[in-house]
C-alpha cells in the first residue's frame, strides 16, 4: 500500500467516527484528508485561522489562493460558511465549543497523552492550536501511522518529545488498528490491517488489552 493510500485509509476510518451536527477541527497532515470522506454527513469543519464550513481540497478549477487552512493548504468552503477573527476562533476552542479535534501525532504514551508539535534537535514545527485543542475539544482523535520514518513505534511507554497537554485522547487511528487508553492500558478496539494481536504486541513492545471488532 502506498503512503498516500495509507494516509487515506486512516482518514476514512476517522470520518466514520464523526456524527451529524458536530463541529470538528482537523489538524495538519493526515487529519486534513478527513474532509474528503465525510460526504453524506452534516459536519461543520472548523479551522483555527477563522472559519467554520471548511470543505475538501479544491480541484484545479476550484483553487482560490485566498482560501487556506490553518496549515496553509488550499481548501474549499461549504454553503453557509462563516469567517471570523483568529481570536474568535480560539475562543470557540478554549470555550469548549469544538466537539471533535482530529490531530496528527508524533508520539502517544500508555496514558493516551500525545506529543505533536516538536521533535528534540530538529527545527520546531510550531505548536499552533495543538495545546488549545487538546485541552478545549470535547473529544480528541489521534491520526498517525503506527511507525515513524525510522521504524520506531509511535505508541510509547513514556513521551520523549514535548507534550501537547495533559489529556488522555479518546481514540488513536492507525493503518493497522484503532486504539484507546484506560488506566495506563493500551486497548486494541479494532484491527484494520493484516497484523494480529500477537504481531502488534511484538511490534510495540508494550502490554495490549484486546477489545477487538473483527
**Rounded to the nearest 5 degrees, what angle is found at the Cα of 29, between the Cα atoms of 23 and 33?**
60
Q: Please compute, for residue 110, the number of CA atoms within 13 A of its CA located in the half-sphere on the CB side.
A: 13
For the residues 150-156, what does the mean pLDDT come to?
96
Distance CA 157, CA 179 (A): 14
> What's the pLDDT tens digit per position in 166-194?
999 999 999 999 999 999 899 999 999 89
Q: Please give the pLDDT value at position 190.
A: 95
- Catalytic entry in 39, 48, 60, 113: 48
Q: Is 48 a catalytic residue?
A: yes
Helix, coil or strand: residue 112 = coil
Higher per-residue confidence, 4 vs 102: 102
Distance CA 143, CA 103 (A): 6
Average pLDDT, the chain: 93
Distance CA 45, CA 51 (A): 8
Q: Please give the pLDDT value at position 72.
A: 87
pLDDT above 60 for 20: yes
> What's the pLDDT tens digit per position in 44-95?
999 999 999 999 999 999 999 999 998 889 999 999 999 999 999 999 999 9
Sign (positive or negative) of CA dihedral 167, 7, 96, 130: positive
Q: How many residues does the chain have?
A: 214
pLDDT grade for 111, boundaries at 50, 70 and 90: very high
Amino acid at each position: 500500500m502506498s503512503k498516500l493510500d495509507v494516509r487515506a485509509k486512516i482518514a476514512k476510518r476517522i470520518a466514520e467516527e464523526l456524527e451529524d451536527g458536530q463541529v470538528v477541527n482537523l489538524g495538519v497532515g493526515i487529519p486534513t484528508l478527513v474532509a474528503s470522506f465525510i460526504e453524506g454527513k452534516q459536519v461543520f469543519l472548523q479551522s483555527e485561522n477563522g472559519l467554520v464550513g471548511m470543505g475538501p481540497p479544491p480541484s484545479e478549477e476550484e483553487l482560490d489562493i485566498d482560501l487556506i487552512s490553518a496549515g496553509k493548504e488550499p481548501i474549499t468552503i461549504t454553503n453557509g460558511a462563516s469567517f471570523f477573527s483568529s481570536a474568535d476562533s480560539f475562543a470557540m476552542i478554549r470555550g469548549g465549543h469544538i466537539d471533535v479535534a482530529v490531530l496528527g501525532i508524533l508520539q502517544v504514551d500508555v496514558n493516551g497523552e500525545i506529543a505533536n508539535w516538536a521533535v528534540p534537535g530538529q527545527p520546531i514545527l510550531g505548536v499552533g492550536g495543538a495545546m488549545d485543542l487538546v485541552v478545549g475539544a470535547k473529544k480528541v482523535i489521534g491520526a498517525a501511522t503506527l511507525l515513524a520514518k525510522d521504524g520506531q513505534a509511535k505508541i510509547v511507554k513514556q513521551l520523549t518529545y514535548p507534550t501537547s497537554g495533559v489529556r488522555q485522547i479518546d481514540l488513536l487511528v492507525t493503518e493497522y488498528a484503532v486504539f484507546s487508553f484506560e488506566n495506563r492500558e493500551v486497548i486494541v478496539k479494532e484491527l484494520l490491517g493484516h497484523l494480529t494481536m500477537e504481531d502488534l504486541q511484538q511490534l510495540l513492545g508494550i502490554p495490549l488489552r484486546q477489545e477487538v471488532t473483527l
